[in-house]
Amino acid sequence: MNKGHLTIGGCDCEDLRKEFGTPLYVFDEEMIRSRMRLFRDTLAEYGEGIVYYASKAFSCKAIYAVARQEGIGADVVSGGELYTALSAGFPAERICMHGNNKLPREIREAIESGVGRMVVDSVEEAEEIEREAAARGKVQKVLLRINPGVEAHTHAYVQTATPDSKFGFSVSNGSAKEAVSRLLKLKNVQLTGYHYHIGSQIFEKESFAVAAEKVLAFAAEMKDAFSFEPEELNAGGGFGVWYAAGDPDLKDGDYRTFLRTLFGAIGEGCARYGLKKPRLMVEPGRSVVGQAGITLYTVGAIKEIPGVRKYLAIDGGMFDNPRYCLYQSKYTAVLANRADEEPTELVSLAGKCCESGDLIGVNMALPKAKRGDLVAVLTTGAYNYSMASNYNRNGVPPVIFVKNGEARLVVRGQTYEDIARCDLLPDGLK
């Protein structure tokens, strides 16, 4: 705090508003780097492996550059993410390409650029990879995405006999086994192991152990059936982060515990089933960038509906953060220009979009705010900017990185011209 103002990365939020305006996405660069190192260094305890930053959480050139500098990999889920990573100089070998329905064009671009791994989510896709790789005289390393029948939800995991998911091949209905047999017959596709991802915002470490055990049991079954043993295992991401009161506020040690629990389960499973210890990959997204980001807004209209609620309207909304609309996600707000005052009332933070459901949150505790005050919404680093839209033709706000008291623009805000850039007026409409 500085003069009662919220600070981040050594910068006073009121100064940031003066320099960049609002709405504004602000990222603490050092916090991102330290999380990347935490995952990287903890994985090194296991042995061979790689951390892929799950870039769908927050994708722009600067974040790929940071991941590159920290020596980790990146997971991408579309041609657009792949393009952004490559144009930031990200080494293709350290990219893992995901997607439940990769387009022929995306498959081609991935193989042409030389991505290190692709995660196969359908047999047709594997055959397409085979054709494209063969045409270029390449062999593409792939992992098979399997669904072990464990779904983790925050504080609990459920074991589902018949998983209902658009992702992966089900272990329980035999489709995963069938896929292994089909992939092993391909020549320009080299199956190196299995990928699984059991959910997001997971706080229960046992979930990671239960899933690993199931995947290794499947691997043992495949070893018996096809003499195929995985060289690699990709355990996905999903490590939870704090958003609001009631969420555990995990520290570095807790993330280490998540990983060590996973390492332990893999060690035990491999011993039990006589499998060699695979190279390990993890894909944290939210836990790398979530808490490093905040969004700054300026308070505009205030509307109190007696006996119902008080709306505080801000200059952003669902176009920069659609997560309340999508999942009723909880957030914490702070009055950044009077951060030393105690909260005195509960308000609903409303966006400026023409949509009643356009809220950032409800029942958020704040000091009594007035027009012009500066609001910071915390933990907006993941799945905010990456989910932004131009709804109501609002421009996507700029993104800055702050570090040691300095702010650097890494994504400039969209102008009206940017928003209308792809619009055309064909003959007859001019």
Q: Minimum distance between the CB of residue 283 and ligand PLP, rounded to whole angstroms?
A: 4
Q: Which distant-in-sequence residues (6+ apart) come within 8 Å of 356 by Cβ?
A: none
- Say if residues 265 and 277 touch (Cβ distance below 8 Å): no
Helix, strand, or coil (residue 108): helix
Among 64, 239, 297, 331, binds ligand PLP (CB under 6 A): 239
Residues 356-395 that bind ligand PLP (CB under 6 A): 382
Beta bridge partners of 159: 150
Contact 118, 142 (CB under 8 A): yes
Dihedral of the CA atoms 255, 160, 197, 105 (nearest 10)? -160
Catalytic residue among 60, 96, 354, 422: 354
Is residue 242 classed exposed, middle or buried when 0-12, 13-18 and 19+ CB atoms within 10 A define those classes? middle
Q: What is the CA radius of gyration of the chain?
A: 23
- For position 293 contacting ligand PLP by CB under 6 A, the verdict is no
Q: Which of 79, 236, 322, 397 binds ligand PLP (CB under 6 A)?
A: 236
Please work out the total of residues on this chain that contact ligand PLP, with binding judged by CB under 6 A: 17
Instruction: Verify binding: residue 108, ligand PLP, rule CB under 6 A.
Output: no
Cβ 221 to ligand PLP shortest distance, Å: 23
Q: What are the backbone angles phi and psi of residue 128, rounded to the nearest 5°? A: -65, -40
Cβ within 8 Å of residue 15, ≥6 positions away? none
Residues 249-288, one symbol each (x = binds ligand PLP by CB under 6 A, - = not), give: ----------------------------------xxxxx-
Nearer to ligand PLP, 121 or 213 (CB): 121
**Residue closer to ligand PLP, measured from CB, 291 or 348:** 291
Site residues for ligand PLP, 50-89, by CB under 6 A, read 54, 56-57, 75
The answer to whether residue 96 is catalytic is: no
Q: Are 207 and 157 in contact (CB under 8 A)?
A: yes
- The answer to the question of residue 142 lying near ligand PLP (CB under 6 A) is no
Q: Which of 5, 35, 98, 108 binds ligand PLP (CB under 6 A)?
A: 98
Among 9, 49, 237, 278, indicate the residue that binds ligand PLP (CB under 6 A).
Answer: 237
- Nearest residue to 262 via CA among 159, 113, 152, 111: 152
Q: By CB under 6 A, tell whether 40 contacts ligand PLP.
A: no
How big is the chain, counted in residues? 430
94 binds ligand PLP (CB under 6 A): no
Q: How far is residue 152's CA from residue 149's CA, in Å, rounded to a whole number?
A: 10
Which residues are known catalytic residues?
354
- The contact set with ligand PLP (CB under 6 A) reads 54, 56-57, 75, 98, 197, 200, 236-239, 283-287, 382
